[in-house]
Structure 1
Amino acid sequence: MWMYLGLLAALFLGLHNLCKKHAVQGNEVFPVLLGTIGSGFLVLLPFFIGSLYFPEYTKQIGLYITKISWATHGFIFIKSMIMAASWVLAYQALKHLPITIVTPIRSAGPFFTFIGAILIYQEKPNSLQWIGFFLIIFSVILYSKIGKKEGINFKRNKWIFAIIGATFLGASSGLYDKFLIQNLALNPQTLQFWFCTYTVLILFCILCVTWFPNTEKRKAFKWRWTIVAVGILLQLADYFYFKALQDPDALIMLLSAIKRSQILIAVVIGGLVFKEKNKRKKLVPLFGIMVGVFLILYS
């Protein structure tokens, strides 16, 4: 069952990436990011209020937000800092790079998760999983060759390093999620609500320094409906992902790989919507990534 939940998370993540590309095009990154996380927070806020005043009903519908200790709050705050840094880097890169380059590089996330899962959680991959894993990495390298034809030098472009850093931090957060869900026994909605709360506070502090004092930047900001859509889709993706992690048999290395199937939406549909270059050539490494994901699932 947890694999199907992972595929649902991948579906919403793919749609989330498309909306995110539209939201940041020609726009200020930090207010867009605050708007998306703030939208997710507002979606979850009624459930928090309901858990305070109507606990029986929220328990009945399975969306009760539990009371947690200060120590647990601290653990969630650490996740918020990791993901805030990851998102800031990812949004900046997405603003300056084609989505068909950014998304496949993000697909290298399973590389870091794979290593962490082995070292930290002692998850043991079999031969097919190893083949699938290296096929994904090889396909991502192939994307870098195609990217050079679009004027993107992967060794000198700072946005490439930004998206690689975002990928590493995102993978670290994924490993940390397993600890939060399984070791601390947090339910998805509790983790999501407090994570959004702390992330909104972190981003608000950043904007107080970088954006609010700057009149020109505030005037340049364009509100778009996709900002709200990104927040809602992200919460849906996270909910199904955390539900999958609640299963004691769930392997974080496999879930991370399953989530990479989101690139089918981002590369195929995104390439058509945003009319990016070399779409046909990008289908070759896309196929390689999909085969790698299939081998991991099949194993």
Structure 2
Amino acid sequence: MWMYLGLLAALFLGLHSLCKKHAVQGNEVFPVLLGTVSSGFLFVASFYLFSVFYPDYAQENGYDFQQIPWKTHGFIFIKSAIMAASWVLAYQALKHLPITIVTPIRSAGPFFTFIGAIVIYKESPNLYQWIGFFLIIFSVILYSRIGKKEGINFKRNKWIFAIIGATFLGASSGLYDKFLIQNLSLNPQTLQFWFCLYTILILLIILSITWFPYAEKRKAFKFRWSIIAVGVLLQAADYFYFKALQDPEALIMLLSAIKRSQLIIAVVIGGLVFKEKNKRKKLIPLAGILIGVFLILYS
């Protein structure tokens, strides 16, 4: 069951990636990020308010919110700090790089998760899983060569380093999620509610330094419907992902790989919508990544 929940998360993540690219094009990155997180928080908060006024109905339907100690709040704040840093780097990179380059590099996240799952959680890979993960990494290297044809030098372009840093932080957060869900017994909606709230506070501090004091930057910001869509779609994806992690048998290394199937939407449809270059050539490493994901699922 947890694998199907992972596939649902991948579906919403693929749609989320498309809307995110639309939201940041020619726009100020930090207010877009604040808008997406805030819209996601309001979406989750609506369920929180419903659980306050109708607690019995909420509990019967599985979206009651837990009362948690301050120590647990501290653990959630750490996750918010990790993801805020990851999102800031990722949004900046997405603004300056094609989605068909950014998304495949982000797909290397399962490799970092894979290593962490072995070292931290002692998850044991088999031969097919080893082949699948290394196939994903090799496919990302192929993307780097295609990126050079679009004027993107992977060794000198700072946005490439930004997206790699975002990928590493995102993978670290994924490993941390298993600790929060399984070790601290947090349910998805409680984690989402407080995570979004703390992330908003962190982003407000960043914007108070980098955006709010500058009138020109404020005027340059363009509100788009996709900003709201990004927040809602991300919360939907996270909900199914956290539900999958609640299963004691769920393997974080496999869930991380399953989520990469969002590439079908982000690369194929995104390449057509945003009319990016070398779409056919990018299908080759895309196929490699999908085969890697398939080998992991097959194993």
Amino acid at match of 1:77: F
Amino acid at match of 2:220: A
Q: Which residue of 2 aligns with 1:162?
A: 162
Shift of 1:61: 1.9
Question: Quick check: 1:10–1:261 contact (8 Å CA) kept in 2?
Answer: yes
Measured in 2, the distance between the counterparts of 1:59 and 1:141 equals: 48
Q: Which residue of 1 aligns with 2:21?
A: 21
Deviations 1:199-225 (A, max 9, x none): 011101111111111000000000000
Amino acid at match of 1:138: F
Deviations 1:222-252 (A, max 9, x none): 0000000000000000000000000000000
Amino acid at match of 2:243: K
Q: Which residue of 1 aligns with 2:214?
A: 214
Shift of 1:52: 2.7
Taking only the aligned residue pairs, the percentage that are identical comes to 82
Shift of 1:37: 0.3
Unaligned regions of 5+ residues in structure 1, if any? Answer: none
Residue 242 (structure 2) pairs with residue 237 (structure 1): no
Measured in 2, the distance between the counterparts of 1:276 and 1:50 equals: 43
Q: Which residue of 2 aligns with 1:140?
A: 140
Shift of 1:57: 1.4
Unaligned regions of 5+ residues in structure 2, if any? Answer: none
Q: Give the 3-state SS of the residue equivalent to 2:289 in structure 1.
A: helix
Measured in 2, the distance between the counterparts of 1:64 and 1:47 equals: 9
Q: Which deviates the most, 136-145 or 47-56?
A: 47-56
Q: Which residue of 2 aligns with 1:274?
A: 274
Measured in 2, the distance between the counterparts of 1:112 and 1:135 equals: 14
Q: Which residue of 1 aligns with 2:261?
A: 261
Would you identify which runs of 4 or more consecutive aligned residues in structure 1 move more than 3 Å? Answer: none
Question: Quick check: 1:76–1:194 contact (8 Å CA) kept in 2?
Answer: yes
Q: Which residue of 1 aligns with 2:283?
A: 283
Residue 118 (structure 2) pairs with residue 118 (structure 1): yes
TM (norm. structure 2) is 0.99
Amino acid at match of 2:216: E
Q: Which residue of 2 aligns with 1:36?
A: 36
Amino acid at match of 1:73: H
Measured in 2, the distance between the counterparts of 1:198 and 1:21 equals: 24
Question: Quick check: 1:47–1:65 contact (8 Å CA) kept in 2?
Answer: no
Measured in 2, the distance between the counterparts of 1:8 and 1:46 equals: 22
Residue 135 (structure 2) pairs with residue 131 (structure 1): no
Deviations 1:2-53 (A, max 9, x none): 0000000000000000000000000000000000000011011122223333
Q: Which deviates the most, 224-233 or 62-71?
A: 62-71
Shift of 1:58: 1.1
Q: Which deviates the most, 40-49 or 141-150?
A: 40-49
Shift of 1:60: 1.7
Measured in 1, the distance between the counterparts of 2:130 and 2:87 equals: 29
Question: Quick check: 1:55–1:64 contact (8 Å CA) kept in 2?
Answer: yes
Q: Which deviates the most, 14-23 or 54-63?
A: 54-63
Q: Give the 3-state SS of the residue equivalent to 1:237 in structure 2.
A: helix
Deviations 1:79-113 (A, max 9, x none): 00000000000000000000000000000001100
Q: How many residues align?
A: 299
Question: Quick check: 1:51–1:66 contact (8 Å CA) kept in 2?
Answer: no
Amino acid at match of 1:205: I
Measured in 2, the distance between the counterparts of 1:280 and 1:147 equals: 13
Q: Give the 3-state SS of the residue equivalent to 1:121 in structure 2.
A: coil
Q: Mapping of 1:171-186 within 5 angstroms?
A: 171-186=171-186
Residue 86 (structure 2) pairs with residue 90 (structure 1): no
Q: Which residue of 2 aligns with 1:197?
A: 197
Amino acid at match of 2:194: W
Measured in 2, the distance between the counterparts of 1:96 and 1:283 equals: 21
Amino acid at match of 1:295: L
Q: Give the 3-state SS of the residue equivalent to 1:137 in structure 2.
A: helix
Amino acid at match of 1:292: G
Q: Give the 3-state SS of the residue equivalent to 1:212 in structure 2.
A: coil
Q: Which residue of 1 aligns with 2:63?
A: 63
Q: Which deviates the most, 49-58 or 112-121?
A: 49-58
Backbone CA RMSD of aligned residues: 0.6
Shift of 1:63: 1.1
Question: Quick check: 1:113–1:175 contact (8 Å CA) kept in 2?
Answer: yes
Question: Quick check: 1:117–1:123 contact (8 Å CA) kept in 2?
Answer: yes
Amino acid at match of 2:276: E
